[in-house]
């Protein structure tokens, strides 16, 4: 019988926690500034991508759904970075 | 309604997780929150010093706690879907209950945060940062509360010993909604707690 606990899902969960630690670490270590802004925004959307692809199972989803999600994960952080660093 | 054997339900090649309708709702909600994210970015760009100063009033530790809690509930929910597919109702029930418990912890921590802020004199009327902080985290908290009801519905389904495809689709839809609640928080946390 296959196990309920899945190594990939656990790895994604761990990666999400590490990513949170990275952005908090950069925020605390570097303080305000363009580097912190870019790291915080990039890390947040990498996390979203991980949640979508693995937890929401978009890696098995039809291409249209995957592309809409991928577009969101690229377009929104770019817009945010442009506004934040303007 | 006959349930497919576990092996057949595992690792689908290409299929929509849950109902198509839930994905229209999830993507629509993500766009609404994208507008909220941009509003926060504009507020930051308008006065970085004020944004950073206001951010100092937030309790970063509680924000981190809630992030860990939500990310963990997203894991337990993903595992609950697996348990349901593998026809393991007792495990699925435990995992959904754990997810709901996490949702309650998240909401309780948020109430503590709101109380602390208001006691310290920071309200939605203080300035733009706090207006948006209360509005957007409040909107998100509403999603958490709705999520609790959704998870309650999922719990009723996964309790059954045998699940059909339609049942599993509803479980996946509930899970997709909950993962959306998680991912929206991840961006709100980054922008509100760690930007300045």
CA distance A11 to chain B (A): 10
A16 lies in some domain: no
Class of residue A71 by CB neighbours under 10 A (exposed 0-12, middle 13-18, buried 19+) = exposed
With pLDDT > 70 as the criterion, what percentage of chain B qualifies? Answer: 93
Q: Which residues of B touch A51 (CB under 8 A)?
A: 74, 179, 182-183, 186
* Model confidence, pTM: 0.93
Residue whose entry in the numeric block shows the structure tokens 């995957």: A66
- pLDDT of B4 > 80? The answer is no
Q: How many domains does chain A have?
A: 1
- A49 within a domain of the structure (yes/no): yes
Residues of chain A contacting B86 with CB distance shorter than 8 Å: 1-2, 4
What are B104-147's pLDDT values in tens digits?
Answer: 999 999 999 999 999 999 999 999 999 999 999 999 999 999 99
- CA–CA distance, A39 with B76 (Å, rounded to integer): 28
Give domain status of residue A55, yes or no.
yes
Whether B74 sits inside 8 A of A48 (CB atoms) is no
Residues of A in contact with B65 (CB under 8 A): none
Are B16 and A62 in contact (CB < 8 Å)? Answer: yes
Residue-wise pLDDT tens digits, A36-83:
999 999 999 999 999 999 999 999 999 999 999 999 999 999 999 999
| pLDDT score of B45 | 97
Does the residue A31 lie in any domain? no
Q: Is the pLDDT of residue A3 over 60?
A: yes
Angle separating helix axes B20-46 and B48-57, nearest 10 degrees: 110
Q: List the one residue out of B30, B21, B17, B28 whose CA is nearest residue B185.
A: B30
B174-191 mean pLDDT? 98
Instruction: Select the residue of A32, A60, A65 nearest B196 (Cβ to Cβ).
Output: A32
- For residue B56, pLDDT over 60 is answered with yes
A-chain CB neighbours of B72 within 8 Å are: 13
On whether residue A11 sits in a domain, the answer given is no
Range of the domain at A69: 38-86
Evaluate whether residue A81 is within a structural domain: yes
- B21-54 pLDDT, tens digit per residue, is 999 999 999 999 999 999 999 999 999 999 999 9
CB contact under 8 A, A44 and B34: no
Residue B49 to residues A32, B59, B119, B170, B196, Cα–Cα distance (Å): 9, 18, 23, 47, 8
Which residues in chain A have their CB less than 8 angstroms from residue B172's CB? Answer: 57
Tell me the domains of chain B and their CATH numbers: 18-193 (1.20.120.80)
Residue A2, in any domain of the structure: no
Of A9, A20, A65, the CB nearest to B75: A9
How high is the ipTM of this complex? 0.96
* A24 inside domain: no
Of residues B107, B126, B6, the one with CA closest to residue B66: B107
Residues 6 or more apart whose Cβ sits within 8 Å of residue B194: A23, A24, A26, A27, A36, A40, B60
3-state secondary structure chain B: CCCCCHHHHCCCCCCCCCCHHHHHHHHHHHHHHHHHHHHHHHHHHHCHHHHHHHHHHCCHHHHHHHHHHHHHHHHHHHHHHHHHHCCCHHHHHHHHHHHHHHHHHHHHHHHHHHHHHHHCCCCCCCCHHHHHHHHHHHHHHHHHHHHHHHHHHHHHHHCCCCCCHHHHHHHHHHHHHHHHHHHHHHHHHHHHHCCC
């Amino acid at each position: 019988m296959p196990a309920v606990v899945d190594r990939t899902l656990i790895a994604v969960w761990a990666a999400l926690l590490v990513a949170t630690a990275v952005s908090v670490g950069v925020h605390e270590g570097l303080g305000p500034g363009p580097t912190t802004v870019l790291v915080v925004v990039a890390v947040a959307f990498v996390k979203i991508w991980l949640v979508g692809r693995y937890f929401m199972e978009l890696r098995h989803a039809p291409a249209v759904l995957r592309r809409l999600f991928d577009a969101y994960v690229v377009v929104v952080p770019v817009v945010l970075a442009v506004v934040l660093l303007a | 309604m006959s349930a497919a054997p576990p092996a057949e339900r595992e690792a689908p090649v290409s299929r929509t997780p849950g109902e198509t309708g839930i994905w229209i709702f999830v993507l629509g909600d993500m766009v609404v929150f994208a507008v909220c994210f941009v509003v926060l970015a504009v507020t930051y760009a308008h006065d970085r010093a004020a944004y950073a100063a206001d951010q100092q009033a937030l309790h970063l530790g509680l924000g981190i706690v809630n992030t860990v809690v939500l990310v963990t509930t997203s894991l337990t929910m993903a595992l609950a879907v697996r348990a349901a597919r593998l026809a393991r109702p007792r495990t699925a029930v435990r995992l959904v209950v754990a997810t709901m418990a996490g949702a309650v912890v998240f909401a309780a921590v948020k109430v503590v945060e709101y109380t602390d802020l208001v006691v310290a004199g920071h309200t939605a009327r203080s300035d733009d940062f706090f207006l948006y902080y209360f509005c957007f985290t409040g909107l998100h908290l509403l999603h958490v509360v709705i999520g609790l009801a959704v998870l309650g519905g999922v719990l009723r389904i996964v309790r059954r010993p045998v699940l059909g495809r339609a049942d599993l689709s509803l479980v996946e839809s509930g899970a997709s909604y909950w993962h959306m609640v998680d991912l929206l928080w991840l961006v709100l946390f980054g922008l509100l707690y760690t930007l300045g």
